[in-house]
Amino acid sequence: MKYMLMMNHAGQGPYAMMSWPQEDIRAHIAFMVSFAKKLSSTGELLAAEGLAGPDQARLVKAGADGKPITDGVFPESKEFLVGYWMVEVDSPERAHAIAAEASTAPGLGGKPMNMNIEVRQVMSGPPPEFL
Amino acid sequence: MKSPASHPIESLLREHAPRVLGAILRRFRDFGASEDAVQEALLAAAMQWPVGGVPENPRAWLIQVASRRITDQVRAEAARRHREELVVSMVPPELQLVLPVMGDESMGRDDTLALLFMCCHPALTTSSAIALTLRAVGGLTTAEIARAFLVPEATMAQRISRAKQSIHASGVPFQKPTPEETAARLGAVLHVLYLIFNEGYTATSGPQVLRTDLSGEAIRLTRMLHTLLPEDGEVAGLLALMLLTDARRAARTGPLGELIPLDAQERGRWDAAMIAEGVALISATLSKGSLGLYQVQAAIAAVHDEAVRAEDTDWPQILALYGVLMGLTDNPMVALNHAIATAMVHGPRTGLTLLDVLHQSGRLDGSHRLDAVRAHLLERAGEPAKAVVHYRKAAERTTSQPERDYLLLQAARLSEGMGA
């Protein structure tokens, strides 16, 4: 079964990492790199991407003429998606365990951030009897 | 893609791929079907040769197998539609094919060139042209190309098949380009090769470590093109630029995939043989009095690569070369690099003045590069607080993760230095 693990950043504004000291930024990056390596070595990692910051985000909807209407500034939102992992695992428990590990990524002062990781199962194709 | 040395059969196959396809195409005309048949022949060889040995004439073997595949296909198709029409010819289709004279080198060369021009046809989108070039000329499988670009195999297969349809619809005949066509369309071919190189070169860390070596493939294809068109200055220039850039690969990232800027790289880790080849190539080309965008960029890369230490860099020469480049193109990124070279020769204040002009022109609006360069020059001008602001602004705007991390670390380093 496949899961999407989403890392959210509280509120709008620039990423918290923007104001961390060098050492903490390095530790955070090192954690993320080795976490991705570990997941891919177990064969569980399908994809992992970081998303560009709120400054780059746009809200788009179609106008009456079908043309895109974009919102120049990202509107107020409590949470902002920073990045995600897609994993393929044998059980929901395993997905939760991976999410918990991601949650411990070091933050300011090298302390675990224990941030919220949203875990969502990816829906699968139709069951065999429908094929 | 592995190194040619460790997989001689694989590299042998890829060497032959474009010429085999050329031979098949000349006979069957249908680009899509020919390309599929050659892929199947390459796969068959990859499975059979390691076990049964490489045939005496590998290209003839491949042409024969591909011809058989395409004939089978044509026959199956025909059988399905009009069974009776088959009797029209009493000669079996595969016997209608006379294998070409294998010693015909010029034909093979022309075929490869014609193929490159076909795959980089202006009717194709850039991403399609890239995919098709890697498959039809590079001999890579769809799965390999998909892995290299981190897209699902089905997506890549679709991209390739749409590219083939576009070529079919465009009605371009498969033939050696005339000198006029070569002149008019070589630019598109070089651009595609350059993009393939960049795609490989800018991949750095994270899941990307799984990427196959696109830069190596781009160099191989450009080298092949240089053999076909040895007198063309821009082809030589692009090959030199790739070699001189790729030579720094080992030194440009740290253990975590973090970017290391040119002036901080451990130069002992640069590939001396690649630099020597690139320098010799660009020197020979420039001495012929030829000038073009790739050649000038290669010349700039050569000046960087020849400096034993960063402080030995001949910046006045680089500045002069950027001046030449500005005369060839009005690309604002070139103007930005010209401002950096100016700052290195005449001081950061002069560079910052040029940045103001660029900023006012509005031609780099929304680009994080302007902020990144400004931050760098402000730092050198002794204004760390302002530099931090621009490093952060650039970090918020870049869409490259390794670059974002690099810019953040610069901002953090500076603000720690200020005791903030």
How many angstroms separate the CA atoms of B394 and B388, rounded? 10
Residue B357 has pLDDT above 70, yes or no: yes
| Selected residue with higher pLDDT from B165 and B273 | B273
Residue B254 has pLDDT above 50, yes or no: yes
Q: Would you call B366 an interface residue with chain A, using a CB distance cutoff of 8 Å?
A: no
pLDDT at residue number B106: 61
Contact check, Cβ <8 Å, A33/B257: yes
Residue B374: per-residue pLDDT: 97
The whole-number pLDDT of residue B264 equals 93
Q: What is the mean pLDDT of residues B192-205?
A: 79
Q: Angle at which helices B233-246 and B179-202 pack, to 10 degrees?
A: 10
pLDDT value, residue B90? 47
Q: Coil, strand or helix: which one is B217?
A: helix
Kindly report the number of other CB atoms within 10 A of residue B316's CB atom.
13
Q: What average pLDDT does chain B have? A: 86
**Quick check: A30 and B405 CB within 8 A?**
no
Both structure tokens of A90: 């044998």
**For residue B179, pLDDT beyond 80:** yes
- In chain A (131 residues long), the average pLDDT of successive 10-residue segments reads 90 76 92 90 88 82 88 68 92 95 93 93 78 63
B226 — pLDDT class (breaks 50, 70, 90): very high
Q: A13: nearest CA in chain B?
A: B396
- Phi and psi angles of residue A45, each rounded to the nearest 5 degrees, phi first: -80, 125
Query: b vs e for B134-169, b when ≥16 Cβ sit within 10 Å of the residue's Cβ?
Result: bbbbbbbbbebbbbbbeeeeeebbebbbebbebbee
Is pTM, for the whole model, over 0.80? yes
pLDDT of residue B236: 97
Residue B116 · residue B29 · CB < 8 Å: no
Most confidently predicted of A96-105, B114-123, B362-371:
A96-105
pLDDT of residue A31: 94
The mean pLDDT value of chain A amounts to: 86
Contacts of A2 in chain B (CB under 8 A): none
Option in A18, A29, A32 nearest B392 (CB): A18
Show the tokens assigned to B97: 């094919």
Query: Is residue B22 within 8 Å of B34, Cβ to Cβ?
Result: no
Kindly tell me if the per-residue pLDDT of B407 is higher than 80. yes
Residue written as tokens 């103001």? B356
Looking at residue A39, its pLDDT comes to 92
Q: Is ipTM beyond 0.85?
A: no
Helix (H, G, I), strand (E, B) or coil at A86: strand
The pLDDT, as a whole number, for residue B388 is: 96
Retrieve residue B320's tokens: 């002069």
The model's pLDDT over B48-104, given as tens digits with 9 standing for 90+, comes to: 998 889 999 999 999 999 999 888 887 777 766 664 444 444 444 444 444 444 445
Chain A residue numbers with beta carbons less than 8 Å from the beta carbon of B205 are 33
What's the average model confidence in pLDDT over B354-382? Answer: 93
Q: Report the C-alpha gap between B260 and B379 in whole angstroms.
A: 17
Output the pLDDT for position B174.
77
Q: Taking CA atoms, what residue in A is nearest to B402?
A: A29
Select the more confidently predicted residue: B174 or B32.
B32
| A10: β partners | A79
CB-based contact, B400 to chain A, within 8 Å: no
Q: What is the pLDDT of residue B10?
A: 84
Distance between CA atoms of residues A69 and B383, nearest Å: 40
Q: What is the mean pLDDT of the segment spanning B205-227? A: 76
Q: Which of B124, B131, B398 is nearest to B259 (CA)?
A: B398
A18, A33, A53 member nearest B256 (Cβ): A33
Give the bridge partners for A117, in sequence order: A7
Give the pLDDT score at A73: 61
Average pLDDT over residues B400-412: 90
- % of chain B surpassing 70 pLDDT: 88
Q: Which residues of A touch chain B, with CB atoms under 8 Å apart?
A: 14-15, 17-18, 20-22, 25-26, 29-30, 32-33, 36-37, 40, 45, 47-48, 50, 52-53, 55-56
pLDDT of residue B82: 60
Cα dihedral: B135, B138, B139, B143 (round 10) = -50
CA B268 to chain centre: 26
pLDDT average, residue stretch B373-395: 96
pLDDT per residue as tens digits for the range A72-92: 666 566 778 889 999 999 999
Report chain A residues whose CB lies below 8 A from the CB of B209: 37
pLDDT classification of B389: cutoffs 50, 70, 90: very high
Q: Which helix (H) or strand (E) holds B261?
A: none
| pLDDT at residue B223, rounded to an integer | 95
pLDDT of B148? 81
Q: How far is the C-alpha of B314 from the C-alpha of B310, rounded, in Å?
A: 9
- Confirm if A77 and A12 have CB atoms less than 8 A apart: yes
Q: Do B282 and B236 touch, CB atoms closer than 8 A?
A: yes
> What's the CA gap between B215 and B213, in Å, rounded?
5
Who among A21, A40, A55 is closest to B412 (CB)? A21
- The answer to whether residue B211 scores a pLDDT higher than 60 is no
Q: Which bin fits A73, alpha (ψ -120 to 50), beta or left (φ > 0)?
A: beta
Angle formed by the axes of helices B214-228 and B179-202, nearest 10°: 160
Q: Which pLDDT score is estimated for B2?
A: 42
> Token digits for B403?
């670059």
- Using CB atoms, pick whichever of B206, B207, B409 lies closest to residue A22: B409
- H runs (alpha helix) in B133-178: 142-148, 153-170
Cα–Cα distance, B191 to B126 (Å, whole number)? 9
Given this model, what pLDDT does residue B100 score? 42
Across the range B109-135, mean pLDDT stands at: 87
The pLDDT, as a whole number, for residue B85 is: 47
Q: How far apart are the first and last CA of chain A?
A: 19
- Decide if B304 contacts B263 (C-beta within 8 A): no
B205 shares contact with chain A (CB less than 8 Å): yes
